């Protein structure tokens, strides 16, 4: 009986550890397209082609 409870506790511990690593990575992957869209929008508002060469 005690071993079954320890296994569940251990499993919950590992799930927490995985989520601690996975959540920031997931957020980063979700926000990367937004950053790309903002970069594209900002580059589209630059006045001339010589400015786009620097980007």
Q: What tokens appear for 51 in the block?
A: 């400015």
Taking every pair of Cα atoms in the chain, the longest distance, rounded to a whole number of angstroms, is 73
Cα 50 to its chain centre, rounded Å, is 33
What's the average pLDDT block by block, 10 residues per block, for the chain (55 residues)? 67 91 96 91 82 70
Per domain, the residue ranges of the chain are 2-54
Predicted pLDDT at 4: 61
Predicted pLDDT at 48: 81
């Amino acid at each position: 009986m005690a071993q079954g409870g320890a296994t569940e506790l251990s499993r919950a511990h590992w799930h927490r550890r995985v989520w601690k690593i996975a959540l920031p990575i997931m957020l980063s992957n979700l926000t990367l397209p937004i950053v790309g869209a903002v970069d594209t929008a900002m580059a589209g508002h630059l006045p001339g082609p010589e400015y786009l060469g620097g980007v």
